[in-house]
A and B are shown apart, each in its own frame.
Chain A
Amino acid sequence: MKNLATLLGATVMLASTAASFNASAQEYPYRDITTAVVWGAGGGTDSINRMIMAEMEKHLPVGISVINQTGGVAGSNGMVYVMNQPDDGYTLVGLSESNVTAAVQGGWDKRFNFWHPFIVGGSPDLISVPADSPYNTLEELVEAAKAAPGTVPAAASGSGSIHHLNLLAIENGTAAKFKFVPYKGSAPGQEAAVAGEVALVVTSLAEQAPLIAGGQLRPLAMLTADDAEFDGKTIKSAFSMYDGLDKYLPLKQAIGFAMHGSTSDDAKAKITAAFDKAIASDVVAEWAAANNYDIGGQSGAEATAIFDNLESTFAWTLWDLGAAKVDPATLGIPKP
């Protein structure tokens, strides 16, 4: 369904691989690049990749086509698909921080540093309640949860998502206990909050923006160190309400794309150059402002360090929760 384009892409690729034996002297990139996004069309990772690839194209002599290769565990289908393509820099993978759990969840057997990642950016998480909620502040919500532990239903995407981990962090930092209700992605979770099925939702500002602006959801607190300005109002940081939260909330979305770690330095350098130019452009700045994203712009070793930290936090948290299938120690993932 998603992937007639893959099929066509694959055919073209086969044809051009055959051609490349004669043309191996040509300089990278001499034919179109394909980016396979591991999450579905319309989601954050998909939108970001389509946006940044369109911008990077302007700084490369070839085009970039974006396809979706979804399914598996934590996006493992798409990652395995790209892994099986040659590491010549012609097939990139569009991914996000949620993919770092693929290994401990049994989706594949590689650590995330198999990739050479590029981070376009991410949107900060926040905790919100339905518009008609009886809870006016985070403190009231936490008190209610403490009064009856495990009964206040909370939506935060699926198990092991960044939003889930942030919800866990809030619980650890405030000693409250919610009833975690998993949803397949952020949108259904937010939908459930609007319908009053859950009492609170933890997702990113980008995802909640239209619902907050339209008065369907009421923001209580940002789950980052800084306050956020939104729609002319200030959303306070939860750090200002509870001391010591910074110990538990180090996590932030990291959405972008990656190449095989084994790609040649030349190809890495060319993609990095195009990426840096694209990140600096006005188009990306405007896009980020309109969509409530913070621009990252890290690549290579810098981005790998960020993903290493995410991987170890995610993997060990899931393992401690009993939600991981593979012991992170056997994969060589260090404890956070």
Chain B
Amino acid sequence: MEFVATQIAGFWGSFIGLASDPITYVYLIASVFLGIVFGALPGLTATLAVTILTGFFGNKFPLEHSLIALIGAYVGAIYGGSYPSILLNIPGTAASAATAMDGYPLTKQGRGGEALGITTTASFLGTLFGTLCLLIFVWVLLAVSKNIASPEKALLALFGILLSGTLMSQDLVIKGWIAGLIGLAMAMVGLDPILSESRYTFGWSYLLSGFQVVPVLMGAFAIPQIMDGLRATVMVAQVPQLGRIVPKFREVLRRMPAITRSGAIGTGVGALPGVGEDVAGWVSYGVGKASSKESKLFGKGSIDGLISAEAANNAAIGGALIPLLVLGIPGSPPAAALLGALKINNVIPGPTIDPALILHVVAILVLASLTMFIMGLFTARIFITILRIPQTVFLPVVMVLTTIGSFSVGGGINDLFLMIAVGLVAYTMNVMQYPIAPLVIGVILGGLFDETFRRSLLISDGDMSVFVSRPGAAILLALNVLLILSQIPAVKNGFRRLTGKKEPVA
């Protein structure tokens, strides 16, 4: 308790110090806005925003100031990715792919303004939740995340792929899993992570570094959406009522359980080294679907579904900073870019870090999320008018932006061919009602699964029991098995008889 009191007192000191310095606001407003723009442009990511700013600030500006800009851009970009997800069904960043699941159906119902308002609020509260955990539970979370080794990571990655396959299927769950396995197979291309043998490269040097996530993401989501939009040549979305963007206080209060649950999941996932905001969104969405009262609405425009994804990906920021600040191990790719910025300034994050710096970071996070919230409610109003532009004019522009986003990864022209190829495959899959999201999750998590699964077996000399003998791994394995069993009709019926639940009326 004493620790909590000193932490809060320390935070308050830093917060007042920051809030009373006018220069803080200059940095905050500029960087949060830049972050939102980066997040909202398809293919430009939070990692890129933080990396570019790291290069810009270098060690030429005082660290206290450059940190404001870096964290502001980080928070803004994770939030900004939700705009195109909700309005266009094209995720701005991988972190907001789960947001599109319920955000876009809401837009189609003409509730885009409401969706943006709820997203802004959920992102704001999610960031605050993650920040609070960073302030209070930093040591508890550290003890947990420190003990996560290869077997747990492998099972978590597998769980993510299976879960998205289960959730995204419109008719048959097996179709979602097939898509997930295709993604997993795509992740195998390139140099293998353990022995550095080349796999499926056919002697082509471009394939040695594997398929990059951004071109796959853009191809999978943006291209089918653009093709569909242009084929229809009518407004896919109804012209939204601008109406009320700021959500009602009572509505927010009613959604608090969902926000808190998602915040907790997001922070936990974010705190795992190397697993970031993208996974946080999906895991939270999955748990939301399983536990929410309106789970039947998930995927058809559920506010709870939207909150599950958005509160979690923003809460993951605070989570990702925990191992970064106290162990020197970044919890997510943008956090890795932050690590670089700290090192250039001779600050070595880790157990020896000055505790005042953690409090400073917490204070910045609080201010950045406030800035994001206020700015978000204004920018949402502007962004939603995008839907008034005819699709025939707007979609080609999106296509250009998407192409630039894919090219920005640095793989050259081949990345664009990859994007188009994935896009055509994704379009066909859409037509055949195969969900595309599990494929992308497979590509994102497949590498992690491959590496950690094989390393677990390397260490255990091929003994599969490593996946049961560790308590964390055993729990995760049980979750995976349950997830698969729950979809087998015989088991499903047996389970239903057991609980005496009636067949839900769809």
| Chain A residues packing against B (C-beta within 8 Å) | 1-7, 40-43, 46-47, 50-51, 54, 65-73, 76-77, 105-107, 153, 158-160, 179, 181-184, 187-188, 190-192, 194-198, 209-211, 213-216, 286-287, 290-291, 323
Contact = CB atoms under 8 A, between A and B. Distances in A.
Contact of B330 (A42, A158, A182): A42
Nearest to A196: B149
> Quick one: which of A71, A158, A183 has the most chain B CB within 10 A?
A71
B196 A195 contact: no
A68 B51 contact: yes
> Quick one: which of A2, A4, A323 has the most chain B CB within 10 A?
A4
Given A1-B214, A3-B410, A211-B351, A195 B340 contact: no
A50 B345 CA distance: 10
B344 A47 contact: yes
Contacts, number: 162
Nearest to B333: A1
A66 B52 CA distance: 10
Contact of A105 (B196, B351, B411, B459): B196
A187 B346 CA distance: 18
A70 B410 contact: yes
Nearest to A292: B348
Contacts of B208: 71-73, 107
A323 B196 CA distance: 8
B451 A67 contact: no
B59 A47 contact: no
A153 B273 CA distance: 21
Given A2-B51, A41-B337, A43-B340, A192 B149 contact: yes
B337 A47 contact: no
Given A179-B459, A184-B193, A54 B336 contact: no
B44 interface: yes
B350 A213 contact: yes
Nearest to A283: B59
B150 A197 contact: yes
B410 A69 contact: yes
A291 B346 contact: yes
Given A51-B344, A76-B205, A209-B350, 18 more contacts: A2-B51, A41-B337, A42-B337, A54-B344, A68-B410, A107-B205, A181-B459, A182-B193, A187-B328, A187-B330, A191-B273, A192-B150, A196-B147, A196-B149, A210-B353, A213-B352, A214-B326, A286-B346
A196 B196 CA distance: 24
Contacts of A197: 149-150, 459
A287 to B, nearest CB: 6
Contact of A4 (B48, B58, B193, B212): B48
A213 B459 contact: no
A290 B193 contact: no
Given A2-B410, A65-B55, A210-B327, A153 B350 contact: no
A70 B191 CA distance: 14
A155 B57 CA distance: 34
A183 B343 CA distance: 22
Contacts of B54: 41, 50
B47 interface: yes
A76 B349 CA distance: 30
Nearest to B52: A5
- 8 smallest A-B Cβ distances: which pairs? A214-B351, A210-B350, A42-B340, A71-B209, A3-B410, A290-B346, A197-B149, A42-B339
A210 to B, nearest CB: 2
Interface in B218-248: none
A159 B196 CA distance: 7
B45 interface: yes
B182 interface: no
A266 to B, nearest CB: 27
A195 B147 contact: yes
B409 A2 contact: yes
B320 to A, nearest CB: 13
B459 A153 contact: yes
A160 B197 CA distance: 13
A210 B328 contact: yes
A83 to B, nearest CB: 13
B121 to A, nearest CB: 28
Interface in B446-481: 451, 455, 458-459
Contacts of A2: 47-48, 51, 408-410
Contacts of B350: 209-211, 213-214
A209 B348 CA distance: 9
> Quick one: which of B194, B196, B326, B459 has the most chain A CB within 10 A?
B196
B44 A4 contact: yes
